[in-house]
């Protein structure tokens, strides 16, 4: 592996992992109100295109790191949907008397 490839992997992993603290905080607080659905949707589209680009050019560092980033972004938007859009589906039902 060359220094250039190592740099690519390092940059991609750092950027991909940057979403992890937000995912953890969202899960712990059960809140994603400050995360824009539109931003996350556009971000997922952009990262998906990066993965496609990596596949077309056979660029393994881009494929690997952008795939991790895509997974993190999908988890984040899934939490947004769960805690805001479908929150009423996940609330415990009250016992019948």
Tens of pLDDT, residues 84-95: 888 766 666 665
Its domain, for residue 72, covers: 32-83
What's the pTM? 0.81
pLDDT average, residue stretch 50-70: 93
> Is residue 70 over pLDDT 70?
yes
Asked whether residue 16 is domain-assigned, the answer is: no
Rounded CA Rg of the chain: 17
Asked whether residue 27 is domain-assigned, the answer is: no
When divided into structural domains, the chain yields a total of: 1
> Is residue 96 over pLDDT 80?
no
Question: Of the candidates 66, 52, 64, which has an alpha carbon nearest to the alpha carbon of residue 16?
Answer: 66
> Is residue 1 over pLDDT 60?
yes
Tokens describing residue 36: 């824009």
Asked whether residue 67 is domain-assigned, the answer is: yes
CB 61 within 8 A of CB 8: yes
Distance CA 38, CA 14 (A): 23
Asked whether residue 26 is domain-assigned, the answer is: no
């Amino acid at each position: 592996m060359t220094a250039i490839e190592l740099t690519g992997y390092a940059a991609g992993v750092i950027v991909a992992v940057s979403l992890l603290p937000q995912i953890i905080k969202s899960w712990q607080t059960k809140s994603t109100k400050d995360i824009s659905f539109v931003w996350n949707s556009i971000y997922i589209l952009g990262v998906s295109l990066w993965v496609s680009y990596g596949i077309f050019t056979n660029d393994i560092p881009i494929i690997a790191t952008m795939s991790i980033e895509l997974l993190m972004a999908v988890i984040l938007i899934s939490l947004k949907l769960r805690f805001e859009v479908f929150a009423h589906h996940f609330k415990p039902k009250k016992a019948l008397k």
